[in-house]
Amino acid sequence: MKKRVSLFLVALLIMAMALTGCGGAKNEPVEPPAAEGDGFAADAVIGVALPWLGTQNWAEADEMFRTQLEAAGFEAIVQHADNKVPQQQQQIESMIQNGAKVIVVGPVDGSQLGAVLEEAEAAGIKIIGYDRLIENTTGVDGVVQFGSVKTGELQGQALLDGLAAQKGEGPYNIELFGGGPADPNAPNFFKGAMSVLQPKIDDGTLVVVSGQTDFTQCATMDWDNSKAQARMDSLLSGFYADKEIDGVLSPNDGIARAIITASEQAGQKIPVVSGLDAENESVQWIWSGKQYSTVAKPTDVLVGKTIEIIKSLQAGNGMPAPDTTVNNGKKDVGVYELPPLVVTKENAKEAFANDPGRLELLN
């Protein structure tokens, strides 16, 4: 009888140890993993990894994320990577180690962050792409951006409208510039613009004198204004010694100003030039007639939408329903797509009616 009782007690002890995970002296409850819709603390760490501060829109984003995240009660870690992929990878790694609940990423190169973002994903961190698609990784939960193909379409149409308004009847001699190839938006801008311009090239209304019409020929490495100006110098000396250039497709305002400067230095009449980002200097140039157009993508709207999503996650409501989805090579990513706006001298005051800083430039 004593032997049977002893065996019974041993069996009970083994069962108890199994139920507590063989935890030894401690018998602490095991916390279940967080559910998909669980929120997080109102003062949580939020990381923001920006590519650089070399253009006005990124400098604005840096300042707005800092002030608005802190105003919302979060602890903000906002860094920029000086357009260096390894630096951005290290910064994201640091944000993971510092316990970030959400990391907002404006990628230097949208295809080079897969490993570190999947590490963040495994840690339960939400990843929001900012302004640019993050490619070839499962480590992204959504992207907030202005429609990139639509932006290009607007740039192409603005070039056609400006040529008709300022250069008389065609045919028109033009050249094409694209943005930095590491930026996934850049080929989309070019694609959208060419969907508008290619039919006019085909019917002879537009003549690309250099013959350079592929994105790879027209791209501007690193969105570098000096590289754009050097290419424009070369195009003008090589193809326009005895011709007038009527228009240039430019992917952003900095490159637009470089194109215009090169044209002036070559003794050309200023061509019709498109742009992007509504940078202060270009807003002034548009108002004075030097640059024909830009496309406004207000940084405050982009940052505001991103913080709206972060607040939804914090409250436990998950990612809001996206406007569309895009396959990034590994998964379908929800995109929160905002509408861009063409700005010319004719509509500048209306476009900047709610932007006192830019409105003040129109005098």
Residue-range domain boundaries for the chain: 45-140+298-338, 148-297+345-352
Q: Does domain 148-297+345-352 have CATH number 3.40.50.150?
A: no
DSSP H helical segments within 240-315, as ranges? Answer: 253-265, 280-288, 299-314
Judge contact between 158 and 292, C-beta under 8 A: yes
pLDDT of 15 reads 41
pLDDT for res 37: 58
- Which of 85, 303, 59, 299 lies closest to 182 in space, CA to CA? 85
Q: Which of 155, 206, 149 is nearest to 177 (CA)?
A: 155
Q: Helix, strand, or coil here: 79? A: strand
Nearest to 49 by CA among 23, 81, 24: 81
* Main-chain dihedrals φ then ψ at residue 62, nearest 5 degrees: -55, -50
Q: What is the pLDDT of residues 306-333, one digit of tens each?
A: 999 999 999 999 999 999 999 999 999 9
pLDDT tens per residue across all 363 residues of the chain: 343 434 343 343 334 333 333 333 333 333 333 444 589 999 999 999 999 999 999 999 999 999 999 999 999 999 999 999 999 999 999 999 999 999 999 999 999 999 999 999 999 999 999 999 999 999 999 999 999 999 999 999 999 999 999 999 999 999 999 999 999 999 999 999 999 999 999 999 999 999 999 999 999 999 999 999 999 999 999 999 999 999 999 999 999 999 999 999 999 999 999 999 999 999 999 999 999 999 999 999 999 999 999 999 999 999 999 999 999 999 999 999 999 999 999 999 999 999 999 999 998
Output DSSP code: residue 32. Answer: P
Question: What is the β-pairing status of strands 247-249 and 172-176?
Answer: parallel
Model pLDDT, residue 87: 98
Q: How far apart are CA 177 and CA 256, in angstroms?
A: 9
Q: Which residue has the tokens 């409105």?
A: 359
**Which tokens hold the place of 325?**
């989805």
CATH architecture of 45-140+298-338: 3-Layer(aba) Sandwich (3.40)
Q: How far apart are CA 314 and CA 317, in angstroms?
A: 8
Structure tokens at 49: 């990894």
Q: Do the domains 148-297+345-352 and 45-140+298-338 match in fold?
A: yes
Instruction: List, in sequence order, every beta strand (DSSP E) within the chain.
Output: 45-50, 75-80, 102-105, 126-130, 142-146, 172-176, 206-208, 247-249, 272-273, 294-296, 324-327, 332-338, 341-343
**Residue holding tokens 């698609």?**
133
Please measure the distance between the N-terminal and C-terminal CA atoms of the chain and give it in whole angstroms. 104
Angstrom distance (rounded) from CA 109 to CA 117: 13
Instruction: Read off the tokens for 271.
Output: 């061509």
